[in-house]
Amino acid sequence: MSTRIAVAGASGYAGCEILRILLGHPAYAAGDIEIGSLTAGSSAGTPMAEIAPHLPELADRVIEETTPKVLAGHDVVFLALPHGHSAAIAEALGESVIIIDCGADFRLRDGNAWEKFYGSEHAGSWPYGIPEMPGHREQLAGATRIAVPGCFPTGATLALWPAVQAGLIDPVISIVSVTGVSGGGKKASVGLLGAETMGSLKAYNTAGRHRHTPEIIQNLSEFTSAPLSVSFTPVLAPLPRGILTTATAPLAAGVDAGKVRGVYRAAYANEPFVHLLAEGLQPQTQSVAGSNMCHLQAEVDQAAGRLVVVSAIDNLTKGTAGAAVQCMNLALGLEEQSGLSRAGVAP
């Protein structure tokens, strides 16, 4: 029997990206997975031909309402919903269904941090979906509940965990991430209009206010017992897709460029979706567009005594939908790379 998959929030950018990846999955081509119900909220009743003309294979499908009744009977359910909507659906569907939540609901282990940044009751935590973090691939294999990470924490965590784990830095970290507008979702928003974003850059949710800050701290805290300080600044740029993250921190005593390169090479030697660039090259968002890749550069600013790590990801792919499908592959026991491109689209 084929594995039946539903996508809740199928009208949004993340939901459509999940569907794009699933349509190219070898298990879909073989008939081993089947795309079942496609659901949303206000878009219910709208043809997919209108919502996602770039997905012609789904043109004759119609968006259904997101309810447990509609989602029941599927083997895998992707939830690409606003935060606060996943817990009730998960409870109604039962433990046998693999639920992969692309929202924030189950990412944080600290209930106080959740309530501070999200302003609602903490629903708990699920296995966390960055397989490249040591120990997480094992947690995700065969899991029936998975929390897909935030897009900013993905780029920041992949950039920094090797340095934190190896003690290359004093963990007083500054992170600046430049992001495309699709990270804000498909909802109508004046701040995301072309007239507001074209030809302009704008920092937002600064000085520790961004909701991804505690998630980044949580991830990096797995690799050190030392007090960890993270200053995170997101910057909105006139791009459809992509996140370019620059992370810096003071070097620990005795650390030089050779040691840094050695640590990063070893950390990612067997990771197909993380590429450490040759010295002298810098990550670019255009190089990872449409792919499940993270491109990295790790350098030493000797004069400043700081480590500088730059990462580039596609926020909709490795930052959300690609990570979700990567986690699905692990949960179902499929080859982890299945359906996920390592090649970007350039220019």
How far is residue 10 from each of residues 5, 63, 64, 213, 303, measured CA to CA in Å? 12, 8, 9, 27, 49
Cα dihedral 217, 82, 311, 342 sign:
positive
Q: Are 131 and 327 in contact (CB under 8 A)?
A: yes
327 is catalytic: no
Candidates 73, 74, 16; CA nearest to 43 is: 16
The residue from 16, 151, 294, 327 that is catalytic is: 151
For residues 276 and 269, give the distance between their C-alpha atoms in angstroms, rounded to a whole number. 9
Other Cβ atoms within 10 Å of 35 Cβ, number: 20
Q: Are 293 and 318 in contact (CB under 8 A)?
A: yes
Quote the tokens at residue 118. Answer: 């999200």
Strand-pairing partners, residue 142, are: none
Active centre residues (catalytic): 151
